[in-house]
Structure 1
Amino acid sequence: MVLDNFSPRVLEQRGLDYSALSKDRPDLIMLRMPAFGLNGPWRDRIGFAYTMEQVSGLAWVTGEPDEPPLTPNGICDVTAGAHAAFAALLTLEHRRRTGRWVSVEVPMVSSALNIAAEQVIEYPTYGRLLQRSGNRGPAAASHKIYRCAADAGNGGRERWIAIAVCSDVQWEAPRQVIGDPDWARDEILRTAAGRRLARDRLDAEIGAWCATRPAVETAELLFAAGVPLGAVVLPYETRLNPQLQARGLFSNRCSIWWSARYCTRAGQSVSPAGRSVSTARRRRRLATTTARSCRRCSGCRKRRSRHSRPPA
């Protein structure tokens, strides 16, 4: 299998397109991931996530209503890779079942348009141009991220909580948790349509209540009452989540993917520069590099002697 994410001209100029490579390997699978496709007026344009988020319209609907569009900041890199991985698995299964080779094209812009499908459909079908709405959703109310009390135990860092009330039944739960104040008994807030009309007032009241409370404690309280929500955490804090720990999603052990730098051919290794390197020498390099990478890893300090030995 050959995978590439260059613009189409790169492999063609080097004589490495599908027609050339398949002469030596008739069973070749080739997965190509150009930015905009293998044909058309933009075929030779290059691009990455930031480009796709503008071209697909994702940036237009990202941000606050009274502020400029914001880039979603890299999501299209992930979605393009996921689409390509799925396509690769399908082509491998296709070859296993039929014995036939295949060439697959997965343009990066296609995965971005999949995410932007709602706004693509809304305008020609209903004449509705979707706009930026910040953290508010089209149906749920309340639907916003609220600031909570600062984390006194961690340098006074700001804390936030995301709350989404998706139905009239769910609205009763936060009402009771916050003490069923007079403003929450307003008739207009009893229906989802009324709460959407009163979003500014609703967000102000809930925001004032959250501002005096710690985020994690508030999240547990509201969740127990049946409110969909989540406390906003920093990425490194996800390892402290008991559910993710129970699922075994984190490990303290380091690893080095040496195959990205050295490939094995007939008992030898070939470096990117083309030099042949003996297998024994490659193992010594692997052990040395792994040991160096683990020196700063607290989870590997006790196992450093194990890493320092070349693999059998």
Structure 2
Amino acid sequence: MLKPLSGIRVLELGQLIAGPFAAKMLGEFGAEVIKIEPPKTGDPLRKWRLLHDDTSVWWEVQSRNKQSVTLDLRQAEAQDVIRQLAATTDVLIENFRPGTLENWGLGWDALHAINPGLIMLRVSGYGQTGPYRDRPGFGVVGEAMGGLRHLSGEPGRAPVRVGVSIGDSLSALHGVIGVLLALRHREQNKGEGQYVDVALYESVFNMMESLLPEYAVFNEIRQPAGSSLPGITPSNAYMCADGKYALVAGNGDSIFKRLMSAIDRGDLAENPAYAHNDGRAQHARAIDAAIEAWTRKHTLDEVLETLHEARIPAGRVYDIADICADPHYQAREMILDSQLDDGTPVKLPGIVPKLSSTPGTVERRAPKLGQDTERVLTALGIDADTQKDWARRGVI
């Protein structure tokens, strides 16, 4: 059965996280992904985090289902190859600083003229327009400018990062949505392409819920609140007798009543002031204290067993060892068994979203640097002698 994106060719010019993450998702659902990397060094992600045989194991996640072609995009011959590939490409993904592709003669206007049906996903720190467009922008900057970093951490302490490159990943997800919308538009409008402009800070800002209207109406500047969710009660982390934390979200009106009954606080369940969230939010400290007074008497497992029986949303704080041991992850095929080039076993994340008829798959492991250069260039009609000359001069 054909996958949703079978027949779609993606040309990935990006590096590191945001652009490549978007291409990874498209590849998992059938798109042919040709990744362009600098000769000799390749994508810097190959050297990020923990290395095995001189290559990051992260690479196995980010670059599965991709082909690797090495091109020095600063050289005229390589730029001409991109133009040839763009002529038969559906989606081009790049996450350079705005203006970089234009300086190489590979900007939107130039490639759109070659292929009017081309869709170009452009991911950058601040977008393709505006006074900040020329500033370098990594995910950490986007997280800060988008408002997320200010809310992270404990009150009165330095803001903390989430722990992963969430700004880049959110931008990639917005980019995939934009690409799918643009493909649909192309179907409806006689093959008309367009570019998708995704800014890191805007992708983060789009997740900020009521932050803006609360400021506009109440002049409220939301502050970091640790593990609680301000204005939504109860929703917090509570210490248990064994020193572990239970995460409890009892903020629905009927859920709150069941929670109070489960912890033997029927008096709070029937208190009219706590019937709805707006009333509970005014008494968050008292409610949190009542819940933790109960959790401190029981182990985490005991707490979760009681709350799950009462149909209360609750859970533990998972580390990666917990994730690997969890039967639900296994049942949902969210941990895939694979191996590295030398046969070393490795576990990789599963694929989301899960489609019932045309699920995503891993058809190909992450490529070695330049693994597909010869095949792709030969298909373009570039002969072996020319390729040897280009290799000698560092074009490929």
TM-score by length of 1: 0.73
C-alpha distance in 1 between matches for 2:291 and 2:117: 61
Partner of 2:337: helix, strand, or coil?
Answer: coil
Tell me what 1:92 maps to: 183
C-alpha distance in 2 between matches for 1:44 and 1:190: 51
| Matched-pair identity in % | 27
C-alpha distance in 1 between matches for 2:185 and 2:262: 55
Equivalent residues in 2 for 1:66-215 (5 A)? 66-73=156-163, 74-97=165-188, 98-150=190-242, 159-180=244-265, 187=271, 190-192=274-276, 195-215=280-300
Matched, 1:15 2:124: no
Corresponding residue to 2:366 among 237, 257, 260: 257
Conserved? CA contact 1:139–1:166, under 8 Å: no
Report the residue type matching 1:63 in the other structure.
G
In the TM superposition, residue 196 of structure 1 has moved relative to its aligned partner by 3.2
C-alpha distance in 2 between matches for 1:190 and 1:27: 57
CA gap of 1:117–1:174, structure 2 versus 1, over 3 A, is closer
CA gap of 1:186–1:63, structure 2 versus 1, over 3 A, is farther
CA gap of 1:13–1:139, structure 2 versus 1, over 3 A, is same
Report the residue type matching 2:176 in the other structure.
A
CA gap of 1:126–1:260, structure 2 versus 1, over 3 A, is farther
Report the residue type matching 1:131 in the other structure.
Q
CA gap of 1:219–1:274, structure 2 versus 1, over 3 A, is farther
Q: Where in structure 2 are there 5+ consecutive unaligned residues?
A: 1-90, 341-364
Tell me what 1:154 maps to: none
Tell me what 2:311 maps to: 226
Higher helix share: 1
Report the residue type matching 1:203 in the other structure.
D
CA gap of 1:175–1:34, structure 2 versus 1, over 3 A, is closer
In the TM superposition, residue 159 of structure 1 has moved relative to its aligned partner by 2.4
CA gap of 1:117–1:260, structure 2 versus 1, over 3 A, is farther
Q: Choose 135-144 or 12-21, whichever is displaced more.
A: 135-144
Matched, 1:59 2:166: no
Q: How many residues align?
A: 267
Partner of 1:207: helix, strand, or coil?
Answer: helix
Partner of 2:121: helix, strand, or coil?
Answer: strand
Using CA pairs under 8 Å that are at least 6 residues apart, name the structure with larger relative contact order, 1 or 2.
Answer: 2
C-alpha distance in 1 between matches for 2:253 and 2:118: 56
Partner of 1:105: helix, strand, or coil?
Answer: strand
C-alpha distance in 2 between matches for 1:185 and 1:118: 28
C-alpha distance in 2 between matches for 1:167 and 1:100: 46
Q: Where in structure 1 are there 5+ consecutive unaligned residues?
A: 151-157, 277-312
Partner of 1:128: helix, strand, or coil?
Answer: coil
CA gap of 1:44–1:225, structure 2 versus 1, over 3 A, is same
In the TM superposition, residue 51 of structure 1 has moved relative to its aligned partner by 0.4
In the TM superposition, residue 139 of structure 1 has moved relative to its aligned partner by 4.1
Partner of 1:253: helix, strand, or coil?
Answer: strand
C-alpha distance in 1 between matches for 2:110 and 2:283: 64
CA gap of 1:23–1:229, structure 2 versus 1, over 3 A, is same
CA deviations on 1:227-272 (whole Å, 9 max, x unpaired) are: 121121113322333333222222223363117743332469999x
C-alpha distance in 2 between matches for 1:212 and 1:56: 40
Conserved? CA contact 1:79–1:112, under 8 Å: yes
Conserved? CA contact 1:2–1:30, under 8 Å: yes
C-alpha distance in 2 between matches for 1:180 and 1:129: 34
C-alpha distance in 2 between matches for 1:93 and 1:101: 10
C-alpha distance in 2 between matches for 1:53 and 1:142: 27
Larger radius of gyration: 1
CA gap of 1:37–1:196, structure 2 versus 1, over 3 A, is closer
Q: Choose 172-181 or 10-19, whichever is displaced more.
A: 172-181
